[in-house]
Structure 1
Amino acid sequence: MIKYPENLDLRRLVHFSADNGTIWLGENRMLLLHAAALSSLRKELINSVGREHTRRIFTRMGYASGTRDAELAKKIRGGQNPIDAFVVGPQLHMLEGSVQVTPLKVEMDIPTGKFNGDFRWDNSWEAEAHVKEFGPQQDPVCWMLLGYASGYTSAFMGRFVLFQEVECTACGSAHCMITGKPVEEWPDAAEHTRYFEDDAIVSRLLELTTQVDMLRSSLEQQRQIESMIGSSPAFQRAYDLVTKAAATSVTVLLTGETGVGKERFARALHQTSSRANGPFVAVNCAALPHDLVESELFGVEKGAYTGAHATRIGKFERAEGGTLFLDEIGELPLAAQAKILRVLQEGEIEHLGGDKTRKVNVRIVAATNVELQVAVKNGKFRADLFYRLNVYPIVIPPLRERTLDIPPMVSAMMEKFSALHNKRTAGITDKAMKALSAYQWPGNVRELENMIERGIILAPQDGWIELDHLFPSLNVTDDMDSSISDSGGLEEKRPPEQARLCDAFLATGLSLDEVETMLLTEAVERSSGNLAGAARMLGLTRPQLTYRLKRNQDANLPKE
């Protein structure tokens, strides 16, 4: 029988935060559920979809939980001997309240993939719940626990290790007993591996509803192009305006903070319009030197200026029949603004240095992250051009107003950068995703994209993207206020500043009365003798402060 190492390192990973309603195991969010609730779910599923499908659901739930805990085991005890690292799984299974695990035999060699293990289970919640609802059984019923053991060991060993329950208390045995070994070593593996496979359970239950949902989804996908991800109300308002504008030839003005994705919205407008087969030409007006703006936009005739050795067409002619996206249009000089106004009104341009007008068939989509109305008042932007552009304004919401869109955006970005950097990851931890949703995103979508790329690069191969991979230089607090004590109860997790303050007080050698006197005196002095103000500063009422001051004064009077 294998002796467990101390589990203090695991208990320290469990944190309870009653104020914000979260429980954490490392960076994975946990739930403290009534066993009776899971028992009711089990009963409802068995009665609804049958024993086989219910077993598959619970087995896959356990498998997913086990794989998560295996990643944690490698991180916490990766440098220890393999057995001490491996038994993190059984120890966590007990810490999570699922079952008491006694390792009877563990033979393992990770490089060769060898594994053979026997474990005894006591106090299985699944066996107790099943017998309570359905009475004694002929076959083992610890499906979720078995899925956990298989998922944990498979992830830990890097190969599929299948566990089977050879004894179960639901069948009258004194203990539950499980045995695990590589799947190919089980002659009856096929009878058990089917419970680990994906199954279209929902389609079996609600086939008609699913078909309707799929139809709606396909219609929605026709409306949205690949690069546009979002279902939040703020995103949908902006996207609906784009969809309506796409059916017309109206000039569109996109406004919003830097990094919100104005060019993506412009491309979406182009690709869903009748001009989709034409070119989409994007111009960053802020990057154009002022003395070259007109030649870049409208073209130049040979000999128009020194160095103009040939006639060259500009961006407007390159976008013929399509869309010209003028990003940061507020940075254009006034002379160029006047010519753009003429294009909007007359649909024609002139090359720099030429006197011949040319008709152009171009749709203009402009974008800016500055207040053009303010620029108009300051004389930096033409009022007539502003009113011509502002016919159809679309405000692109900042990322902090569309937090519902962050998870699907993160998934798409992870897929993109995993392929780009040839890096596989297991996913992103719950705590990291919570931090992404709570972050204010001053750089918006562009900042999120850069952060996910950094996370892909820093995360270990096949590992999880964790909080410090995304915010390596920021002091991100975890807002957790309690953990598990050595006795298994809740204990307060004191903020580090409190610990530093206590260290400073204790280092002075002052008594508690002397510390109190010092604080009272300091508060009175800082409030210029105003006792009410001093009391507020100390979190006391004025009578309480007066009493404490008098008590300290009396204590310091010389005794007769």
Structure 2
Amino acid sequence: MKTSTPSDGVTPRYPDSRDILEKLRFLPEEGQIWLGEQRMLLMQLQTMATFRHEIIRTLGLKRAKSFFLRLGYHSGLKDAELARAVRGQEMSIEDGFLTGPQLHSLRGLVKVIPLALEIDPRQGHFYGEFEWQDSYEVAISEQLDSSLDEPVCWMQLGYACAYSSQFLGQEIQYREVECRGRGDERCRIIGRPAAEWEDHGAFAEHFREDPLIDELYELQSRIAYLEDDIARHKGDEHYRPIGKVPAFLGALDLIDRAARSEVPILLLGETGTGKEIMAHRAHQQSGRAEGPFVAVNCAAIPPDLIESELFGVEKGAYTGAVQSRAGRFERAHGGTLFLDELAELSPRAQASLLRVLQEKRIERVGGQHSYAIDVRIVAATHGDLMERVQDGRFRADLFYRLNAYPVTIPPLRDRRDDIRLLAEHFLARFECHYHVKTLGFTDQAMALLRAHAWPGNIRELQNIIERGVILAGDSNSIDEQALFGQHPGQKPGQTLSESGHIGQATETECGDALVSLCDRVLEAGVSLEVLETALLEKAYRESGKNVSAAARRLGMSRAALDYRLKKGGML
């Protein structure tokens, strides 16, 4: 069975479209348009032009083409269902097939002119040739003024492939052999069974999802490795352990002694004490220094993904695994793998990790083959692993294998003499990063840094110094307000008593002095406005007309003092 072709001088004709138009319903009161059981949209051509432009800019031309081919493909699948429902039992297969081109024209996407159509389901034969007139994708391309060397009717091509394949029950592929979007006189497509096209396999790849997230993740991992490699070879100060107190030097000595061996190192210490810096130190002092250093924060990865991140995943292992991906163990081959927040590993991941440590081989998720790996393990945790072992939350056999060489990193509050060294180190780094040169820390600021409890340890110190550099800016000192956000309130110092002797001013005495001052102001009949003006003027004058210095003396922000001085006519 086949329809007429150009060879017999008769072109295929469309069946009457009234049965399709009867399925079209406009419901403006509900804000809906329906074609059969499918909800439709009316959208401006300019909107689609903008959308296409954004997709091309975001994904690049190759990915954008595949995206729009898939978009049209999904539309074609739905229309094939509608065509069979409307005409599947009432018309010949050829007339029923022409429902798709009619629907395409009805939506205002393109006027489809059938040039030739041959269908023989029993023999699996198909040949279709159509001309596209006034293609909306050509109009979009002209609006974007983007001349391409290839056809531009991507969405319509995807539609034709899906519609024909779904309607006929066999894979049909089309090629746009002529396209006005690339300078041809017309748009013309030819469709055949997929196997009849030499490049059918490569063309079919366009219709498989290719999410960017896996590629971006791989690129991020490579960048992280390259940054580590550059830092290692250039001696980047970022990974240099800093400190001189005995507790810290003792931990550093233990790291250096174990570095040349292959024993797993377990770093113990609170969050923010610099365990990753020490892991880098172990790697840099080892025979694996030329190999990769790969860090994994086990707490930052969802439990159901941790195995695929550590051991890799094979294509098709689960929904969304569209390509095989190496895990962190494979990336660390020949180097060091740092497992941070080890205590957060799920029980299943713990069992898999133990097997890898015993057998020195890994198996990707969904894979059938194992791979030999050569990796040195450095692990870290801020929790009490022994307590977790006793509670049954951490495998005892894994704990004893990793606990062969424990090293405890002291918290910052036990390293008071290192605070100045660390603060100066971070100051130099952030001055370079923000392209400023401060006047350093005030004495009061440094005293407060040394007195602070540091619950966040070195990470907290780093963040506070960054804040101080940002707020102080160029050619200014970093004071306590820039670091901590407010004046913390100074302890009472030495003062003169009424008898003229030096003594310690208690908080009660300071309070009494304030009450006495208030009494004298009230007795003199000085108004609040006059008192405020006099106080502001005195602080401003005695600070050498430096607004910032005066604001610090008054315990207020520079902006607030600036406003009051201008309001009072003093500035």
- TM range, normalised to the smaller chain? 0.3 to 0.5
Flag the structure with larger Rg. Answer: 2
TM-score (norm 2): 0.47
Name which structure has the greater RCO, CA cutoff 8 Å, separation 6+.
Answer: 1
